[in-house]
Chains A and B, each alone.
Chain A
Amino acid sequence: MKVSLFITCLCDTFTPEVGKDTVELLERFGCEVDFPAGQTCCGQPAYNSGYKSESIKGLKQMIKTFEQAEYVVGPSGSCVHMLKEYPKVLADEPEWAERARKLSGKTFELTQFLVDVLKVEDVGSTFTGTATYHPSCHMTRLLGVKDAPRILLENVKGLNLIDLPMKEDCCGFGGTFAVKNSHISGQMVQEKAEHIEETQADYLIGGDMGCVMNMGGRLRRNGQEVKFLHIAQVLNTQ
């Protein structure tokens, strides 16, 4: 099975280790992974801020980069969902909308791909520690990936998973919201940090780098000792 990795701009720039773990995980289950170098950003920051016309050129760049792929897999529910929004955004240009629809149909979030396509529920990893998992909003509500991360994490040996209180509440990231409405965002992520503290977990695990950066950044600011990881990092620990 050939998989083209959609790394996301955040993982490319800030957490390449998440990309490495994603590649190794996919390879471990027989995928042949390639990395189309023309990829940039999914375009969400502009599109979600109302700059639809501005965002379209970038969307087309991404379509051109990935349309030859057999499968496209990315370690982020939010960015993958954005790719799936392309047909809607490009609705006024039928030819591009059609190309976007084809791309959308073969694009998956990492845990979704593992569980739904590769039919893997136990990746065979061992990770010793107590952790709590934050289910990101776009992954669960928009992409509809609710169970896959939990199934995979529950099968990790040595991992003691503690339920995060009010886990369904947004961490306050929201892309440009974190900057534009930084005061509200700060209070939201503070409440999240307090809930993380309540679990007494050593690790916070998330499936979306934007949310992990937001929560991790606040934990660090607060001087909380919780370490924060992307789910791919946990799943690829042997």
Chain B
Amino acid sequence: MSIKIGHKPYAERIQDGLNNSFMRKAVSSAQGRFRSGRLKAAEELGDWEDWRTLGEEIRSHTMENLDYYLHQLSEQVEKRGGTVFFAETAKEANEYIQEIAKKKQAKKVVKSKSMVTEEIGLNETLEKSGCEVVESDLGEWILQLDEDPPSHIVTPALHKNKEQIRETFRKKKGYTGSDDPVELAAFAREQLRQDFLEADIGVTGCNFAVAESGAITLVTNEGNARMVTSLPDTQISVMGMERIVPTWEDLEVVVSLLTRAAVGQKLTSYITALTGTRLEDEVDGPEDFHLVIVDNGRSKILGTEFQSALHCIRCAACINACPVYRHVGGHSYGSIYPGPIGAVLTPLLDGYEDHKDLPYASTLCAACTEACPVKIPLHEHLIRHREIIVEQEKMTTTSEKIMMKGFAKWASTPAAYKLSTKMARTTLKPWTKDDYIEKGPGPMKGWTEQRDFPAPSKERFRDWYQKREQRSDH
């Protein structure tokens, strides 16, 4: 996989999403749970706005000094027996990991959930070189069996309901049980147990790396990351280069924000911190530990007006709050990063060419900005993307350009404004019936496809006002 998923054009993807009533039902009910959970957890913590400000400060400070903290992190990891590899591109990251797999003559790799490995397409690379790769996060495992991309960054199989999951298990794994979630999960655990025992390499993502200690922390609810990081002798953690905090104290703040904003939990069931290889006097830990720090376009964002997009802690609160995501689902975005943060991040990491429609897939209602626990001004970033698409990339249609130029002229010339608003009712008369337009011409078509449009008033406000002034003058 890569950042881009599928090959369908935007309009087709949106239509697929809107037509998928199973998915829409699953998404809206999940959104309901996540939203109320987040609000409740925020209220319970108290001073939520102060926490957000603190979170923003930590993320902002870290990005401002990213070179320093990355250096500190790599020194600490190496001091504890680990090896650090900086990968500028997805290809470099994949090749490095592939090389380790070759050296270890690895046949099986188990993974815990990681968006960055989705981003770089690690599974395909390892599979090509003959490794079996097994995803151990329940959602990711379901998707892997179904060869389906994630539709959400925290709960990747959000778009599937339990009946669909039962079908997948039946077809791919010979499952014979019911669609009871407990039974489904128990089946998955049983199946995965063998994979953990057989795996030669464990691959994890990284929620946050702690620079001062070189620890890699993983925030999970299923316990699978513990299995991935305690059974195989070789450990590889892959992290986006921005996923770092300076200290344990900072970690406490961002983890508190993450679990509350993501799933409404005070803490997840497991927070795992991995610090280097097994020392002589220790009984567990890997023989070999590699930390792969992935740039893949991130450093280009540093120092730009989009820098705060790197503050993201991947909680998906913006996705859960988004009314557009609610109706179209994650796959419609055509990116492994969907929703508002996806619409901001995807063009930055993967270019405008394939993703120029994403910044427009928003009403700019700012529910995302309000939900973000580290105060990323997501809706403002979307407007800025639109400016770049229009003014620098010049990717908009000629008809839109003509219309907007016309609008600009109209809005800056009172005489034109006055004349057109005066003529509006007459101009639209051929399409008007009972003071409404039910099927409008040209640019009005999109509007009237979905709802009626009111006819302009017989008397504008300014006409009324002028008459009133004249009356009071007499």
Whole-angstrom distance between the Cβ of A47 and the nearest chain B Cβ: 8
Contact B386 A13 (CB under 8 A): no
Instruction: Please name all residues of chain A whose beta carbon is closer than 8 Å to the beta carbon of B391 when the two chains form the complex.
Output: 50-53
Contact B450 A181 (CB under 8 A): no
Q: Which chain A residues numbered 184 to 203 have a C-beta less than 8 Å away from chain B?
A: 184-189, 191
Instruction: Please name all residues of chain A whose beta carbon is closer than 8 Å to the beta carbon of B388 when the two chains form the complex.
Output: 50
A55 with B386: in contact, given A179-B443, A182-B447, A184-B18 (CB under 8 Å)?
no
Complex Cα distance A217/B449, Å? 11
Q: Let me know if A160 is at the binding interface, CB within 8 A.
A: no
Pair count A-B, CB < 8 A: 198
Contact B446 A43 (CB under 8 A): no
Whole-angstrom distance between the Cβ of B70 and the nearest chain A Cβ: 32
Q: Which chain B residues numbered 159 to 205 have a C-beta less than 8 Å away from chain A?
A: none
Contact A48 B386 (CB under 8 A): yes
A183 with B447: in contact, given A46-B404, A46-B411, A49-B390 (CB under 8 Å)?
no
Instruction: Please name all residues of chain A whose beta carbon is closer than 8 Å to the beta carbon of B449 when the two chains form the complex.
Output: 182-183, 186
Q: Let me know if A221 is at the binding interface, CB within 8 A.
A: yes
Instruction: Please name all residues of chain A whose beta carbon is closer than 8 Å to the beta carbon of B408 when the two chains form the complex.
Output: 46, 51, 54-55, 57-58
Whole-angstrom distance between the Cβ of B436 and the nearest chain A Cβ: 7
Q: Which of A179, A182, A186, A220 has the most CB of B within 10 A?
A: A179
Assign chain A's interface to a size class.
35 or more
Q: Let me know if B456 is at the binding interface, CB within 8 A.
A: yes
Residues 101-132 of A, flagged 1 when their CB comes within 8 A of B and 0 if not, give 00000000000000000000000000000000
Complex Cα distance A13/B389, Å? 31
Complex Cα distance A190/B457, Å? 26
Contact A189 B18 (CB under 8 A): no
Complex Cα distance A198/B444, Å? 30
Contact A19 B461 (CB under 8 A): yes
Instruction: Please name all residues of chain B whose beta carbon is closer than 8 Å to the beta carbon of A45 when the two chains form the complex.
Output: 404, 407
Q: Which chain A residues numbered 19 to 56 have a C-beta less than 8 Å away from chain B?
A: 19-20, 23, 35, 37-41, 43, 45-55
Instruction: Please name all residues of chain A whose beta carbon is closer than 8 Å to the beta carbon of B364 when the two chains form the complex.
Output: 48, 137-138, 174-175, 177
Residues 379-414 of B, flagged 1 when their CB comes within 8 A of A and 0 if not, give 000010111111100001000100011011011111
Instruction: Please name all residues of chain A whose beta carbon is closer than 8 Å to the beta carbon of B323 when the two chains form the complex.
Output: 169-170, 172, 188
Whole-angstrom distance between the Cβ of A8 and the nearest chain B Cβ: 9
Q: Let me know if A9 is at the binding interface, CB within 8 A.
A: yes
Contact B459 A183 (CB under 8 A): no
Whole-angstrom distance between the Cβ of A226 and the nearest chain B Cβ: 13
Contact B457 A14 (CB under 8 A): yes
Instruction: Please name all residues of chain A whose beta carbon is closer than 8 Å to the beta carbon of B460 when the two chains form the complex.
Output: 12-13, 16
Q: Let me know if A142 is at the binding interface, CB within 8 A.
A: yes
Instruction: Please name all residues of chain B whose beta carbon is closer than 8 Å to the beta carbon of A57 when the two chains form the complex.
Output: 408, 411-412
Contact A137 B363 (CB under 8 A): yes
A217 with B457: in contact, given A19-B464, A45-B407, A182-B449 (CB under 8 Å)?
no
Contact A55 B324 (CB under 8 A): no
Contact B404 A49 (CB under 8 A): yes
A and B contact pairs by CB, cutoff 8 A, 14 listed: A13-B421, A16-B459, A49-B404, A50-B387, A54-B407, A58-B408, A137-B364, A142-B366, A169-B326, A170-B365, A184-B328, A184-B361, A217-B451, A221-B450
- Across the A-B interface, the 4 shortest Cβ-Cβ residue pairs: A174-B363, A50-B386, A58-B411, A217-B451
